[in-house]
Amino acid sequence: MASPNGQILILNAKKEHGEALAMNLRRFGLEVAVASSQEDAVTRLIQTPADMVICDTQLSQDTGVSFLSWVRKEFPISLRVLVENEPLKENCEALINKAGVCCIFRDGVEAEEVARLLALEGAVVQGSPISVDQTMGVDKLKEHCQKLEAENQVLSQQVQKLRDHIQHGQSPQAATSVKPNPAPDPEESARMAVSLSRAMEQLMNSEDIVLPVLPEVGLEVQKLVADENCSFEALAEKVELEQGLSARILQVSNSPMYAGLKRIRNLQQAVARLGLRETRNIVQAVVTQNLFHTRSKSLSNLMSKLWLHSLCAAYSNENIAQTLQIPDSRDFFMMGLLHDIGKLVVVRLVDDLLKSKEWADKGISKDILRGLMTAHHHDFGLRIMQKWQYSKSFEEVVSQHNDDANVYGNSEAVVVTYFSNLLTRKLGYSLVPYESPLLDSEILARALNMTAETRHLLEKTLSGQISKIRESYLPQ
């Protein structure tokens, strides 16, 4: 069987189930992405249209049939497949009419069948292909669908008239019983996610876009620390030129994360006690912290969580580098700090959009924002790294740190950051819930040459550091 070169999107409310299915499909050479919410799935489809969408029948906010109906309308070229995790109410003909479903799997998804479907056209039910002629014929099917759409239009008009009638005839007592915060409509959320995603792309491609920039001293510090022969004197001289930076570095050096019996009073004492590498890490963290701020009160809490996640990933990277004695790992700390820089860009762009007339009166849910981050932060982060002229290794970390499919094939820096990203999720310090079993997988263990005992030690070490990291960099 020829291996298809198709892109598949899996939508499963339980991401660990979706990841397990994805790993099985990738063994057959298929390219697979996984989404755990409709908003996430929509933004992924916008970024990379899929040749096939595989969706469970029951989702967190809606049914799989409804979502696939939306996919049929917005992305008609995508094949649509249902996985029956709950009994279907519709029969086969209804599913074809409503969502254009080409396949239903009831006893697990067969990877070989999925691969074959990507090369076929027609209708498939219960995991085995059926030609359109075996259902009702192409012409008859089109005619039936047109008739159904016409009936739906009439019904929609009648429902709208009924709503108008109720609204205008409603008593004051009845009006006050309406819930002030109705549940979001999944289709409306999907449309908003699509519009926001396109608006963000337009902003990113605009010549007038103002992207986050490291302070000039930050860029100069980064150039210095990239030099293996960088002396402390050169670093101290550069840092002391920035008003307030030295004071902040000393503040962190005397924080719970590093505090000793005697107070550190200058950079020379910091290096003497902490070492050049640790002092350099503190300098980079303090400089980078300036990026993680927003004037928007509604987004400030989100930005703080993103900064704490980045810090935890940075210290986890450093723990791994020291524990495994990885050579050439001086940049691992900074890679942890910047691995999610693309999410910061998404937050900044959303903040800008909310200030515009078009979006000023529209609220954006956490699910939509999370979906936008998932869909765009690798690409946006890569663009920032290129703009800042960081090395290729930084570009790889930023763009590949969530690459489940190629854990064993990625660079050591990417795999270490991948591990740290998952570990911070597991400990609860991430914008994304921990749903992946890969932290305990043999693939990841082999990629890092790490025993189970070492992994547990790293987890325990970071868990003990987090409260100190919070106190040191996020004072209340």
CA-nearest of 381, 383, 399 to 344 is: 381
Rg (CA), the chain: 26
Kindly state whether residues 15 and 116 are assigned to the same domain: yes
Kindly state whether residues 237 and 296 are assigned to the same domain: no
pLDDT tier, 236 (very low <50, low <70, confident <90, very high otherwise):
confident
CA distance 96 to 359: 37
Kindly state whether residues 238 and 335 are assigned to the same domain: no
In a domain, 170, yes or no: no
**For a pLDDT cut of 90, what percent of the chain falls above it?**
22
pLDDT tier, 314 (very low <50, low <70, confident <90, very high otherwise):
very high
pLDDT tier, 26 (very low <50, low <70, confident <90, very high otherwise):
confident
CA distance 343 to 312: 16
pLDDT given for residue 344 in this prediction: 92
In a domain, 1, yes or no: no
Indicate whether 93 pLDDT > 70.
no
Q: Is 50 helix (H, G, I), strand (E, B) or coil?
A: coil
CATH number of the structural domain spanning residue 438: 1.10.3210.10
Kindly state whether residues 54 and 124 are assigned to the same domain: yes
CA-nearest of 363, 371, 365 to 11 is: 371
Average pLDDT over residues 172-176: 33
Q: How far is CA 353 from the centre of its chain?
A: 20
pLDDT given for residue 165 in this prediction: 45
For residue range 375-425, what is the model confidence (pLDDT) as tens digits? 899 999 999 999 888 899 999 999 999 887 777 778 999 999 999 999 999
Kindly state whether residues 279 and 323 are assigned to the same domain: no
Kindly state whether residues 285 and 344 are assigned to the same domain: no
CATH number of the structural domain spanning residue 48: 3.40.50.2300
251 burial class (0-12, 13-18, 19+ CB within 10 angstroms)? middle
On whether the CB atoms of residues 413 and 320 are closer than 8 A, the answer is no
In a domain, 167, yes or no: no
Indicate whether 177 pLDDT > 70.
no
Average pLDDT over residues 335-344: 95
CA distance 279 to 245: 13
| 158 CB neighbour count, 10 Å cutoff | 10
The one-letter code for the residue type at 113 is: E
Kindly state whether residues 358 and 470 are assigned to the same domain: yes
On whether the CB atoms of residues 377 and 340 are closer than 8 A, the answer is yes
pLDDT given for residue 45 in this prediction: 82
Strands laid side by side in the 79-83 sheet? 31-35, 7-11, 52-56, 79-83, 103-105
Q: Which of 260, 275, 290 is the last residue before a domain boundary? A: 290
In a domain, 463, yes or no: yes
Unique residue bearing structure tokens 């992946």? 436
pLDDT given for residue 355 in this prediction: 79
pLDDT given for residue 140 in this prediction: 45
CA torsion sign for 13, 15, 17, 21 is positive
- Please state the pTM of the whole predicted model: 0.67
Kindly state whether residues 444 and 379 are assigned to the same domain: yes
Q: Does residue 43 or residue 382 have the better pLDDT?
A: 382
Indicate whether 313 pLDDT > 90.
yes
Q: Which helix (H) or strand (E) covers residue 65, if one does?
A: helix 64-74
In a domain, 141, yes or no: no
Kindly state whether residues 247 and 338 are assigned to the same domain: no
CA distance 466 to 257: 9
pLDDT given for residue 361 in this prediction: 61
Average pLDDT over residues 88-100: 71
CA torsion sign for 405, 406, 407, 413 is negative
Q: Does residue 261 or residue 83 have the better pLDDT?
A: 83
Kindly state whether residues 346 and 436 are assigned to the same domain: yes
CA-nearest of 274, 286, 192 to 238 is: 286
β-pairing, 31-35 with 7-11? parallel
For residue range 266-276, what is the model confidence (pLDDT) as tens digits? 877 887 788 87
Q: Does residue 422 or residue 3 have the better pLDDT?
A: 422
108 burial class (0-12, 13-18, 19+ CB within 10 angstroms)? exposed
In a domain, 367, yes or no: yes
| 311 CB neighbour count, 10 Å cutoff | 27
The one-letter code for the residue type at 251 is: Q
Indicate whether 183 pLDDT > 80.
no
Mean pLDDT of the residues in the chain:
77
29 torsion bin: left (phi>0), alpha (psi -120 to 50), beta (else): left
The residues near 285 (Cβ < 8 Å, ≥ 6 apart) are 252, 311, 314, 333, 337, 473
Kindly state whether residues 15 and 99 are assigned to the same domain: yes
pLDDT given for residue 162 in this prediction: 45
pLDDT given for residue 143 in this prediction: 52
Query: What are the tokens at 63?
Result: 């049914």
Q: Which of 255, 290, 325 is the last residue before a domain boundary? A: 290
CA distance 120 to 52: 11
CA-nearest of 71, 83, 78 to 111 is: 83
CA distance 158 to 363: 29
In a domain, 46, yes or no: yes
Query: What are the tokens at 88?
Result: 């279907």
For residue range 192-217, what is the model confidence (pLDDT) as tens digits? 778 888 888 888 888 767 777 766 76
pLDDT tier, 21 (very low <50, low <70, confident <90, very high otherwise):
confident
Kindly state whether residues 417 and 471 are assigned to the same domain: yes
CA distance 425 to 166: 47
48 burial class (0-12, 13-18, 19+ CB within 10 angstroms)? exposed
pLDDT tier, 90 (very low <50, low <70, confident <90, very high otherwise):
low
Q: Which residues constitute the domain of residue 85?
A: 7-130
Which DSSP symbol is given to 17?
H
Indicate whether 121 pLDDT > 60.
no
The one-letter code for the residue type at 63 is: T
CA distance 105 to 117: 12
Average pLDDT over residues 240-269: 79
Q: Which of 290, 325, 346 is the last residue before a domain boundary? A: 290
Q: Does residue 36 or residue 378 have the better pLDDT?
A: 378
Q: Does residue 272 or residue 141 have the better pLDDT?
A: 272
Q: How many domains does the chain have?
A: 3
In a domain, 152, yes or no: no
Average pLDDT over residues 232-251: 76
